[in-house]
A and B are shown apart, each in its own frame.
Chain A
Amino acid sequence: MSAYILRRLWQMLPTLMGVVLLVFLLFNWVGGDPAYILAGKMSNPEQIANIRAQLGVDQPYWVQLWIFVKQIVTFDFGASWSTGEAVSHVLATRLGPSLTVLVPLTILETLIAIGLALGVAYVRGSLTDRMVMIACTVGMSVSILVYIIVFQYWLAYKLGLFPVQGWGDNFAENLFHYSALPILIGLVVSIAPDLRLFRTFFLDEINQDYVRTARAKGLSEPTILWVHVLRNAAIPVVTHVMSNLPALLIGAFLIERFFSIPGIGREIILAVERSDFPVIKAITVYVAAATMLFNLLTDLLYKAIDPRVQLE
């Protein structure tokens, strides 16, 4: 197992280097020159040249790339070009609000989708199954923007069930008061596709011989579904859930913008608008690394779920 993990970690290096190179090239080709924004309204070529020198973007590309690599190795991405705030502080302070919304959302979304998918898989072909599938298709066809605008207007403003927006300095208040509506919207948007996907996983299992055997042995239907079927369908479910986890690091920028949540998603959009390369590259590298680590973790979970899986 240790050898497998070490080998996989070692294999991540070339992938990460590819990401670094791609981010660097993309930013330098299409990322815009931040000096023109930072120089202000009344700038002249001399001032712009000075700002470029301060930022280091006047250096040859290979020097800039080397600095980027050193920043990754030392975990020090310097400071934001537009605000002067240390990038480490940006990540440390913006990640919390994003996770406050997205972690409960992911847990609830997964549990609810699994429960509903097992239910509709059990009654496959019935009116209930068809109605749920139609509802899912309709739900998936509506943009998240519409959900946000409608829910914010009706549930928060008109009915007063939730705050229209806001973020406090207390975790419980943020989780139960300010995050409630964003989580609800997230659930409405994400449950439908998950439910449809998980239903197909469960349908693949529900007609297997072992299910018939379990019924013949007299096991209750809930036991058959929640123990046997779920366990056998767990590998694709885990794959799907784990592949979504790195997205937690980039937040949900629309939800954060509308509900004034000071999260990482909003920060990324701002950084792109401002051509704030230190913030963009730090987040990109961390997300790439997280994706690879979660992939590794997924493979390890396969082994835990099904001991027959060989990690080679």
Chain B
Amino acid sequence: MNRPGRWLRRLPALCAALLALAAGPGQEARAADPDKVLHAVFVAPEAGFDPAITRDLYSAEVIQSIFETLYTYDYLARPVKLVPQTAEAMPEITDGGRTYTIRLKKGIYFQPDPAFGGKRRELTMADYVYSYQRLFDPRLASPHSWLFAGKVLGFDEAAAKAKQTGHFDYDAPIPGFELLDRYTLRIHLKQPDFNLGMILAHEPTSAVAREVVEKYRDAMGQVTANPVGTGAYRLGEWVRGSRIELVANPGYRGLTWNFQAGSDPEDAAIVAAMKGKRMPQIGRIDIRVMVEDQTRWLAFVGKQVDLVELQGPLAPKALENGKLRPELAAQGVQLSRIIDPEISYNYWNMQDPVVGGLTKEKIALRRAIAMAYDVQEEIAIVWNGEAVPLEYPIPPGIVGYDPDYRSSVHFDPRLANELLDKFGYRKGADGFRTLPDGQPLTITYSARADSNGKQQAEIWKKAYDSLGIRMKDNLMPFPDLLKAEKQCEVMSRNSPWIADYPDGDNFMQLFYGPNTHQNNNGCSRIPAYDVRYEASQKLPDGPERNRLYHEMARILEVYAPIRIGYARYRNMLAQPTVIGFKKHPILHCEWLYFDMVKEKK
């Protein structure tokens, strides 16, 4: 190791620590122990650390450690529970869901940075407004502008003006963002929205300081390499695509671990181990990028890594029937296993002349195909058993999920064939069916050109063969697949969707007609569905909205634009040295909330 080089690189960190200490009372005592080092691993390289433009999970993990949103999620509560982060309390929602009043905690400071000219820089609500504005800056081309699109009074108009001029005017007031004082923001919405709190917990809405952006931005206005936030960690050494070091932010205000145990029996042990501790406890997080499964696995079993996700073929190495293998359990290795807040569903293009449309014979065709598909087989073969079949379009752990709901669509190839016979899809001499008007019936199934895509195509081929329907597979590079999908040119595909925020709305919007060319991949426009979706948007979580969701789920079964599939498990393994770890379904990283044994010198 090049010791002098390392010390020189850490000099700014030491200066920052001294500066924070010199700041005197008002700063929390530093709880994080520099001898507690967590060795973590990323499966793919990070892209950069600008909250407004981050597109990958791994960058988001770092961003969530450095920056803070107004709200976050309770570490243990399941279903997930929104709690304040930099906000003083939950938002005051008035005017039937049209107005949100949010107060910020006082005395939160950005980590020291030359951009602040040597002064301590307090976080204010203006920083949040600035950060929200950045999402609409046409130069940035943020993939997260949808978070506020069509919601806040005057915001879309400001964005439209920026699009015309090519420049977003950050100084022009936006009527929907009313700053009552430095610490109070009132947000005026165009229509009732009860999910805004969750939007304000999504990491693209993290607070960035304008001075930092103006000092470090590149030609496109992005600040990917100089993240300066108010969060528990700051960026230490960074070797792009290889190593990311997060060091406890000495100026972070800290929090006292005081989460309540939920229904999970493991929660009690976590509470017993963690209650009352000042957080963060871990002083340094050393993240390495390991792309290959074998590399990650060997690094974990060789104790080079403390925390690893079992992706791809790794799950069978560590798990047996969903439980940790005895040899790993005997070593004290811990498993945290959750169902991801996602759905995988197969859609048929509702604008396609062969499978689309709302006529009875088209509905019968799609319903028959839906009944011929064995979801369990896909789970067993493609996902090594690491998924659960779903009955409802909203997965477990998401607000609006109903564990008692039972779908009317089940694997029944005999009934599926009878349905096709009844609606005139006759089999020819070659054993394949034709359309009722005698035209050929061939369905193209598209998938990503990778091993999973190939396996999925083979299972679907089996389903189509059982019905006597010709199927062609079309394996495509991902960008091409996305492009075709957005242009409603994909006839059928298995599509995954993971929650951006833990509310049923994030899933039900997938099948809303006006979202065609956005994320309604099957391009379905079912008036009965759309009218209920619009009504559900105006309602908070509750029986009335759940009733609408039930009706919408039944409409999806009746018209069959999709076949609900499954949600995958997420399995995290932790070494025995990790204390109090539990995977959260929405938070990308939990480093702030757990502890570990000190590293031996």
Q: Is A93 an interface residue (CB 8 A)?
A: yes
- Mark contacts of B234-248 with chain A using CB atoms, 8 A cut-off: 1 yes-contact digit, 0 otherwise: 000101111100000
Instruction: Using known A-B contacts A41-B143, A42-B500, determine if residue A85 contacts B486 with beta carbons closer than 8 Å.
Output: no
B45 contacts A by Cβ under 8 Å: yes
Report A-chain residues with C-beta under 8 Å of the C-beta of B2. 169-170
Q: Does B290 contact A (CB under 8 A)?
A: yes
- Taking the complex as formed, is A33 at the interface, i.e. its CB lies under 8 A from any CB of chain B? yes
Interface: A281 (CB within 8 A)? no
- Chain B, 209-243, contact with A by CB distance < 8 Å: what is the 0/1 string? 00000000011101011000000000001011111
Given contacts A83-B240, A262-B241, contact A40 B288 (CB under 8 A): no
A33 contact set on B, CB distance < 8 A = 479-480, 483
* Interface residue? B270 (CB, 8 A): no
Q: Is there a chain B Cβ closer than 8 Å to A295's Cβ?
A: no
Chain A residue at smallest Cβ distance from B46? A83
Instruction: Return chain A residues, CB-CB under 8 Å to B53.
Output: 84
| Residues of chain B lying within 8 A (CB to CB) of residue A273 | 478
**Nearest CB in chain B: distance from A125 CB, A:** 42
CB distance from A111 to the nearest CB of B (A): 30
Contact A260 B295, beta carbon cutoff 8 Å: yes
A51–B2 CA distance with the chains assembled, in angstroms: 42
A260 nearest in chain B by CB position: B290
A220 to B194, alpha carbons, bound, how many Å? 92
Residues of chain A within 8 A of B497, CB atoms compared: 41
Chain B 464-516 residues near chain A, CB threshold 8 A: 477-480, 482-483, 486, 497, 500
The answer on a CB contact under 8 Å between A262 and B240 is yes
Report if A54 contacts B (CB, 8 A).
yes
Q: Which of B65-73, B271-279, B296-304, B395-403 lies at the interface?
A: B296-304
Say yes or no: A169 contacts B295, CB within 8 Å: no
**What residues of chain B lie closer than 8 Å to A36, measured between beta carbons?**
479, 482-483, 486
A149 on interface, CB distance cutoff 8 Å: yes
Q: Which listed residue, B45, B48, B220, B517, touches A54 by the CB 8 Å rule? A: B220
Contact check, A34 vs B47: say whether CB atoms are below 8 A apart.
no
Q: Tell me if A260 and B289 are in contact (CB < 8 A).
A: yes
Binds B, one of A59-67, A101-109, A152-160, A284-292: A152-160
In the complex, how many residues of chain A place their beta carbon closer than 8 angstroms to a beta carbon of chain B? Answer: 49
Q: Which of B6, B146, B218, B242 contacts A260 (CB 8 A)?
A: B242
Of residues 58 to 104 in A, which have CB atoms within 8 Å of B's CB atoms? 79, 82-85, 93-94
Chain B minimum-CB-distance residue to A30: B477
Whether a CB of chain B sits under 8 angstroms from the CB of A19 is no
Q: Does A307 make an interface contact (CB < 8 A)?
A: no
Confirm or deny: A239 has a beta carbon within 8 angstroms of a beta carbon on chain B: no
Q: Is A43 an interface residue (CB 8 A)?
A: yes
Q: Is A258's beta carbon under 8 Å from chain B?
A: yes
B142: min CB distance to chain A, Å: 8
Which residue from A38, A54, A156, A157 sits with its C-beta under 8 Å from B139? A54
Q: Once the chains are docked, how many angstroms separate the CA of A94 from the CA of B290?
A: 16
Check A165/B224 contact, CB under 8 A, given A50-B138, A54-B141, A152-B294: no
Tell me whether A43 and B518 are in contact (CB under 8 A).
yes
**Chain A residue with the shortest CB-CB distance to B517:** A45
**Interface residue B268 (Cβ < 8 Å from any Cβ of A):** no
* Nearest B residue to A168, CB-CB: B1
On chain A, the residues within 8 Å of B334 by CB distance are: none
Q: Is the CB of A84 within 8 A of B220?
A: yes
Q: Contacts A36-B483, A43-B518, A79-B219 given: A166-B288 contact, CB under 8 Å?
A: yes
Residue numbers in A under 8 Å from B48 (CB-CB): 83-85
Within 8 Å of chain B (Cβ to Cβ): is A16? Answer: no
Residues of A within 8 A of B426 (CB): none
- Do A44 and B55 touch (CB < 8 A)? no
Per DSSP, chain B at the interface is: loop
Tell me whether A45 and B486 are in contact in the complex, defined as CB-CB below 8 angstroms, given that A165-B290, A168-B1 are known contacts.
Answer: yes
A48/B1 contact (C-beta < 8 A), A39-B143, A169-B239 known: no
Q: How far is the CA of A79 from the CA of B48 in the complex (A)?
A: 13
- Does B291 interact with chain A (Cβ within 8 Å)? yes
Q: A152-B298, A260-B291 are in contact. Are A41 and B519 (CB under 8 A)?
A: yes
Question: B237 contacts A169, CB within 8 Å?
Answer: yes
Q: How far is the CB of A178 from chain B (nearest CB, A)?
A: 11
Known A-B contacts A42-B146, A164-B304, A270-B45; the reply to A258 vs B295 at CB < 8 A is: yes
Find out whether the CB atom of A164 lies under 8 angstroms from the CB atom of B298.
Answer: yes
B291 adjacent to A257 (CB under 8 Å): yes
Q: Does B134 contact A (CB under 8 A)?
A: no
Q: Which B residues lie within 8 Å of A41 (CB)?
A: 143, 497, 500, 519
- A43–B519 Cα distance when bound, in Å, is 7
Q: Per a CB cutoff under 8 Å, which of A93, A149, A166, A267 touches B294? A: A149
The answer to the question of A232 belonging to the interface, with a C-beta cut-off of 8 Å to chain B, is no
Q: Is A298 an interface residue (CB 8 A)?
A: no
Contacts of B290 in A (CB 8 A): 165, 260
A277 CA to B304 CA, complexed, in Å: 35
- The answer to whether B243 and A157 touch across the interface, beta carbons within 8 angstroms, is no
- A173 vs B5: C-alpha distance when bound (angstroms): 14
Beta-carbon contact of A83 and B6 below 8 Å = no
Contact B237 A82 (CB under 8 A): no
Complex interface bits, A217-246 against B, C-beta within 8 A gives 1, otherwise 0: 000000000000000000000000000000
Asked whether any CB of chain B lies closer than 8 Å to the CB of A266, the reply is yes
State A157–B301 Cα separation when bound (angstroms): 9
Which residue of chain A has the shortest Cβ distance to B476 in the bound complex? Answer: A32
* B145 beta carbon closer than 8 Å to chain A: yes
B517 and A44 contacting across the interface, CB-CB below 8 Å: yes
Q: Is there a chain B Cβ closer than 8 Å to A24's Cβ?
A: no
User: Which of A32, A85, A262 touches B480 (beta carbons < 8 Å)?
Assistant: A32
The reply to whether B5 and A169 contact each other, CB–CB distance below 8 Å, is yes
Q: Whole-angstrom distance from the CB of A53 to the nearest CB of chain B?
A: 8
User: Inside 8 A of B304's CB, which chain A residues have their CB?
Assistant: 164-166
Closest to B3 in A: A170
Tell me the minimal C-beta distance from B598 to chain A in angstroms: 22
**A9 contacts partner chain B, Cβ-Cβ < 8 Å:** no
* B residues near A275, Cβ cutoff 8 Å: 479
Write out the residue numbers on chain B whose beta carbons fall within 8 Å of the beta carbon of A50. 138, 141, 163
> When chains A and B are docked, how far (Å) is the Cα of A32 from the Cα of B480?
5
In chain B, what residue has the closest Cβ to A172? B2
Interchain CA distance A270-B289 in the complex, whole Å: 13
Q: Are B517 and A47 in contact (CB under 8 A)?
A: no
Name the distance in Å between A149's Cβ and chain B's nearest Cβ.
6
Q: Which residues of B contact A173 (CB under 8 A)?
A: 1
With A170-B1, A259-B295 as known contacts, state yes or no: A38 contacts B237, CB within 8 Å: no
**Which of B6, B47, B292, B482 has a CB less than 8 Å from the CB of A257?**
B292
Any B CB within 8 A of the CB of A37: yes
Given the complex of chains A and B, what is the CA–CA distance between A127 and B139 in angstroms?
71
The answer to whether B239 touches A164 (Cβ under 8 A) is no
State in angstroms the CA–CA spacing of A267 and B301 once bound together.
Answer: 27
A84 and B301 contact, CB distance less than 8 A: no
Residues of A within 8 A of B525 (CB): none
- Contact A79 to B240, CB < 8 A, known contacts A37-B482, A43-B486: no
Name A51's closest neighbour in chain B (CB-CB). Answer: B141
User: Is the CB of B144 closer than 8 A to any CB of chain A?
Assistant: yes
A162-209 at interface with B (beta carbon < 8 Å): 164-170, 173
User: A28 to nearest B CB, angstroms?
Assistant: 13
Smallest Cβ-Cβ distance to A173: which chain B residue: B1
Given contacts A42-B500, A166-B304, 6 further A-B pairs with CB under 8 A are A39-B143, A43-B146, A47-B143, A84-B220, A258-B295, A260-B289
Closest 9 CB pairs of A and B: A40-B143, A32-B479, A262-B242, A42-B146, A36-B482, A157-B298, A164-B298, A84-B224, A83-B47
Tell me the B residues contacting A by CB distance below 8 Å: 1-2, 5-6, 45, 47-48, 50, 53, 55, 138-139, 141, 143-146, 163, 218-220, 222, 224-225, 237, 239-243, 288-292, 294-295, 298-299, 301-302, 304, 477-480, 482-483, 486, 497, 500, 517-519
12 contacts between A and B (CB under 8 A): A32-B477, A33-B483, A38-B141, A39-B143, A43-B143, A79-B218, A84-B222, A152-B298, A156-B298, A260-B242, A261-B242, A262-B241
